[in-house]
């Protein structure tokens, strides 16, 4: 049996599947992994900053304007739309097979595709708050302007609800993610190389039958998985779903 047929069988059997996804989930929606972006050489400071450094808390505090330049160029994709992968996962939730989507992405595309229970480990570009008066702002408020986005009420800095490097993850979201994985019969991991914290750590809570890994390149966890498919996640999920639909 080929890999897509095996995956279709797993989808058919599952009743409490959890999906865990990373940057590769959104590349088919035209959003590249910001870690693949060029860093910048800071003329004034005579030093080079990596993409990870540019989305760190200390960079945000010390070079706020440069942070927003990088953020607008590499993390904000206001026109991005969900792909087949997002749509298939939303459909699996409607069918009562999938209980949660856990994502490292901040683009909000799972919700846009119709997923309800989405645990965003690193927050979302769709939520933005004034650091002084906590007023909420749409993504457009940050995307449209130049320089540091300001609160129209009090002039404070409007900060995206995105977990920056050096900032702690939301412990409630983490706890829900652990609970979902603990009670899952299938753990489907897609579009992540599993090197970004806390991905690798979460897998160890899984006690179910099927660990499925779908990623374009090899991952550290390939050897533990029951099924490994090295291909684009959206394409693979849609093919398996189409096969499942054709059978029933």
Structural element, H or E, at residue 240: helix 233-247
Looking at 20-28, 55-63, 150-158, 231-239, which segment touches Zn ion (CB under 5 A)? 150-158
Q: Which is nearer to Zn ion, 149 or 234 (CB)?
A: 149
Least separation in angstroms between residue 61's CB and Zn ion is 18
Query: Does residue 212 interact with Zn ion by CB under 5 A?
Result: no
Query: Does residue 116 interact with Zn ion by CB under 5 A?
Result: no
Query: Does residue 156 interact with Zn ion by CB under 5 A?
Result: yes
Query: Does residue 154 interact with Zn ion by CB under 5 A?
Result: yes
Spatial CA neighbour of 122 closest among 186, 192, 196: 196
Q: Which is nearer to Zn ion, 90 or 130 (CB)?
A: 130
DSSP for 84-114 reads HHHHHHHHHHHTT-EEEEEES--S-HHHHHT
Least separation in angstroms between residue 75's CB and Zn ion is 22
Out of 18, 23, 130, 164, the only residue in the binding site for Zn ion (CB under 5 A) is: 130
Our answer to whether residue 122 is catalytic in this structure is yes
Q: Helix 3-13 vs helix 233-247: angle between axes, to the nearest 10 degrees?
A: 70
Q: Is 170 helix (H, G, I), strand (E, B) or coil?
A: coil
Residue 79 neighbours by CB under 8 Å, 6+ apart? none
Query: Does residue 151 interact with Zn ion by CB under 5 A?
Result: yes
Least separation in angstroms between residue 185's CB and Zn ion is 46
Q: Which is nearer to Zn ion, 157 or 178 (CB)?
A: 157
Query: Does residue 133 interact with Zn ion by CB under 5 A?
Result: yes
Strands 40-42 and 47-49: antiparallel
Strands 118-120 and 158-162: unpaired
Least separation in angstroms between residue 21's CB and Zn ion is 33
Give me the residue label for tokens 């009670």.
Answer: 183
Looking at 42-50, 52-60, 129-137, 173-181, which segment touches Zn ion (CB under 5 A)? 129-137
- The strand pairing partners of 19, in sequence order, are 101, 188
Rounded Cα–Cα distance for residues 99 and 181 (Å): 9
Torsion of CA 195, 199, 200, 203, to 10 degrees: -150
Looking at 43-51, 133-141, 173-181, 236-244, which segment touches Zn ion (CB under 5 A)? 133-141
Chain center to CA of 86 = 11
Q: Which is nearer to Zn ion, 45 or 133 (CB)?
A: 133
Query: Does residue 136 interact with Zn ion by CB under 5 A?
Result: no
Least separation in angstroms between residue 146's CB and Zn ion is 19
Residues in the site for Zn ion, rule: CB under 5 A?
A: 130, 132-133, 135, 151, 153-154, 156
Q: Looking at the annotation, which residues are catalytic?
A: 122
């Amino acid at each position: 049996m080929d890999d897509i047929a095996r995956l279709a069988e797993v989808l058919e059997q599952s009743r409490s599947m959890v999906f865990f996804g990373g940057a590769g989930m959104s590349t088919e929606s035209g959003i590249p992994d910001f870690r693949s972006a060029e860093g910048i050489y800071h003329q004034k400071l005579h030093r080079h900053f990596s993409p990870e450094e540019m989305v760190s808390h200390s960079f945000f505090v010390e070079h706020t304007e440069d942070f927003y330049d990088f953020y607008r160029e590499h993390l904000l994709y206001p026109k991005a739309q969900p792909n087949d992968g997002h749509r298939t996962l939303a459909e699996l939730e409607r069918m009562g097979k999938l209980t949660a989507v856990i994502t490292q992405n901040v683009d909000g595309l799972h919700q846009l595709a119709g997923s309800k229970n989405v645990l965003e480990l690193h927050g979302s570009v769709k939520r933005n708050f004034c650091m002084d008066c906590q007023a909420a702002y749409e993504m457009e408020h940050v995307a449209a302007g130049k320089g540091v986005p300001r609160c129209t009420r009090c002039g404070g800095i409007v900060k995206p609800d995105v977990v920056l490097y050096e900032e702690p993850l939301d412990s409630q979201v983490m706890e829900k993610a652990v609970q979902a994985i603990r009670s899952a019969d299938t753990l489907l991991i897609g579009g992540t190389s599993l090197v970004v914290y806390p991905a690798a750590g979460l897998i160890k809570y899984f006690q179910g039958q099927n660990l499925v890994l779908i990623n374009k390149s090899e991952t550290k966890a390939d050897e533990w998985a029951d099924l490994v498919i090295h291909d684009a996640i959206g394409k693979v999920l849609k093919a398996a779903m189409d096969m499942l639909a054709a059978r029933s």
